[in-house]
């Protein structure tokens, strides 16, 4: 029983897929539809097994009440006799209708090509059962397939259509039982006799007694009200079940989307961690290569007069590695460097990417000479994330240029990244009332996981800096503000 809007299984096209993309259905994974079909069949066979037992229920109490009516002429006894007859007929009809309805639903759920059985079996089997009991003669309880029975069959079809998205058989059974029970009261309403209601022997006897007592109006009013109340109860129950099924469907879709988004975030986090590890290893490898190369020259003894100079370079490279390792291990580690060195460090990290040529630097020499106290590894990774986001934005809108600008303002140094993408505001849902400045923490909106911006804000806040975004006439700009540092290093 597929829900509207669900994707189909790529293997059998018959069951709902587990997620929002085409793939093997649940039926191929754990075959839950087969289990649901089995439950429907077992429930249907159970009710069909109850039906012969219900047929053996004695109508003697109803006959006794009818025999006393000529003496008492009591309207209460008339209502009691009619009510007892309705409950007797309902106990037989509900078992019959539920049995064939659930059997049809079970067989129709076995495979997509047999779904028509879910309505064909009850439509044909219920009238056939009435006909069979009539053919069997006096040895079996005679059933009359009249107007209420036709309405009950129609209600089976309507209920099957309305509750097609509800998997549990119990809720469907409650709604169907209420509808079938409501139609049984039509048999004892004298005003509907000409419409084919209540042509059975006992029903006719009850209405004849009402005629002799001049109480037909009593049955018409009382049982008309009961029918309307039960029918409305069945209708409202069906509506509630449909609403419940739709809500469950929406919750299932939301849960599936949440799981998928969580998987994407986790995958993005793993990919980002791997990429940053590779970058860090690459950054550490450069001074290490220098150290090893110069150490080999010293060890060879070919140029002993340069050993002191080479040793100083090795010491500087070692200190650089030590500082980088400290920055990796301790986010609060700071060193004072010129803005130019930080920018060059950023460019060295994006140099392997094919979009490196789209990035241009705009800065005055005076600003580049300014110093900032930063964790170089973490701050450079934050700016690389901004450049990567700008590249993603350009891919969406066909942009071709990214600008990394360094500017000075009072005691601050501003590093901004501008792109030619769609901008932040264009990625927000229409009518959400959210502005780009208000909800950028949820991600760029360009199909990414949002981990890049979260990392940037974490690094900038740790540096006691400021981070803001703004939409341009074409594209967007993100700006990082860092406090100027003294010339002496701050660790």
Q: How far apart, in whole angstroms, are the C-alpha atoms of residue 423 and residue 444?
A: 9
| Alpha-carbon span 187 to 222, nearest angstrom | 13
Nearest CA among 337, 350, 319, 407 for reference residue 376: 337
Of residues 106 and 6, more confidence is placed in 106
- pLDDT at position 8 over 60: no
pTM: 0.43
Higher-pLDDT residue of 443 and 36 is 36
Confidence of residue 262 (pLDDT cuts 50, 70, 90): confident
**Helix-strand-coil split of the chain, %, nearest 5:** 65, 10, 25
pLDDT band for position 294 (cuts 50, 70, 90): confident
Which one of 3.30.565.10, 1.10.10.60, 3.30.360.10, 1.20.1070.10 gives the CATH number of domain 330-483?
3.30.565.10
- How, if at all, do strands 412-418 and 371-374 pair? unpaired
* Model pLDDT, residue 446: 47
Do 95 and 43 touch, CB atoms closer than 8 A? no
H helix intervals, 25-168:
26-29, 32-55, 60-72, 75-108, 117-135, 147-162
pLDDT digits (tens, 9 = 90+) for 51-94: 888 888 888 888 888 888 887 888 888 888 888 888 888 888 88
- Please measure the distance between the N-terminal and C-terminal CA atoms of the chain and give it in whole angstroms: 66
What is the pLDDT, as a whole number, of residue 167?
63
The answer to whether residue 280 scores a pLDDT higher than 70 is no
pLDDT for position 404: 95
Half-sphere exposure of residue 408, counting CA atoms within 13 Å on the CB side? 17
Q: Give the number of other Cβ atoms within 10 Å of residue 136's Cβ.
A: 11
3-state secondary structure of 335: strand
Domain boundaries of the chain, sorted by first residue: 1-29, 31-264, 330-483
CA angle at 441 for the pair 438 and 442, rounded to the nearest 5°: 100
pLDDT of residue 143: 57
Between β-strands 359-363 and 335-338, what pairing exists: parallel, antiparallel or unpaired? unpaired
Whether 188 contacts 206, CB under 8 Å: yes
Question: In the beta sheet, which residues pair with residue 413?
Answer: 408, 482
């Amino acid at each position: 029983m597929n829900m509207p809007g669900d994707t189909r299984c790529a293997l059998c096209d018959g069951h709902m897929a587990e997620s929002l993309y085409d793939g093997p259905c649940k039926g191929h994974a754990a075959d839950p539809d087969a289990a649901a079909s089995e439950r429907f069949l077992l429930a249907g066979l159970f009710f069909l097994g109850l039906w012969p037992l219900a047929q053996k229920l004695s109508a003697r109490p109803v006959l006794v009440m009818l025999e006393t009516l000529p003496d008492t002429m009591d309207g209460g006894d008339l209502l009691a006799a009619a009510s007892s007859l309705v409950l007797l007929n309902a106990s037989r009809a509900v078992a019959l209708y539920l049995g064939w309805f659930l059997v049809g639903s079970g067989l129709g759920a076995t495979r997509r090509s047999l779904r028509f059985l879910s309505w064909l079996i009850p439509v044909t089997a219920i009238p056939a059962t009435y006909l069979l009991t009539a053919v069997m003669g006096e040895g079996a309880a005679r059933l009359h397939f009249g107007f209420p029975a036709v309405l009950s069959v129609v209600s089976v079809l309507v209920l099957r259509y309305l509750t097609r998205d509800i998997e549990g058989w119990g809720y469907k059974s409650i709604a169907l039982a209420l509808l079938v029970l409501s139609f049984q009261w039509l048999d004892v309403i004298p005003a509907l006799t000409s419409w084919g209601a209540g042509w059975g022997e006992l029903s006719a006897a009850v209405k004849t007694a009402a005629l002799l007592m001049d109480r037909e109006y009593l049955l018409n009013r009382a049982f008309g009200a009961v029918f309307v109340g039960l029918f409305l109860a069945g209708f409202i129950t069906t509506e509630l079940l449909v609403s419940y099924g739709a809500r469950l469907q929406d919750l299932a879709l939301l849960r599936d989307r949440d799981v998928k988004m969580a998987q994407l975030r986790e995958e993005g986090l793993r990919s980002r961690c791997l990429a940053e590890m590779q970058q860090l290893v690459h950054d550490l490898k450069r001074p290490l290569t220098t150290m090893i190369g110069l150490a080999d020259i010293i060890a060879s003894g070919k140029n002993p007069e340069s050993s002191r100079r080479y040793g100083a370079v090795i010491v500087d490279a070692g200190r650089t590695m030590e500082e980088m390792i400290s920055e990796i291990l301790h986010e609060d580690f700071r060193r004072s460097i010129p803005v130019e060195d930080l920018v060059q460090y950023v460019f060295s990290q994006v140099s392997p990417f094919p979009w490196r040529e789209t990035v241009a630097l705009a800065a005055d020499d005076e600003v580049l000479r300014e110093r900032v106290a930063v964790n170089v590894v973490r701050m450079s990774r934050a700016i690389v994330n901004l450049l990567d986001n700008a590249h993603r934005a350009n891919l969406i809108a066909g942009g071709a240029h990214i600008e990394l600008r360094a500017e000075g303002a009072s005691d601050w140094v501003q590093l901004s990244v501008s792109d030619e993408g769609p901008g932040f505001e264009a990625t927000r849902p229409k009518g959400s009332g959210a502005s780009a400045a208000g909800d950028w923490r949820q991600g760029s909106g360009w199909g990414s996981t949002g981990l890049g911006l979260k990392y940037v804000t974490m690094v900038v806040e740790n540096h006691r800096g400021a981070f803001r975004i703004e939409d341009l006439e074409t594209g967007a700009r993100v700006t990082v503000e860092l406090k100027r540092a003294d010339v002496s290093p701050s660790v």
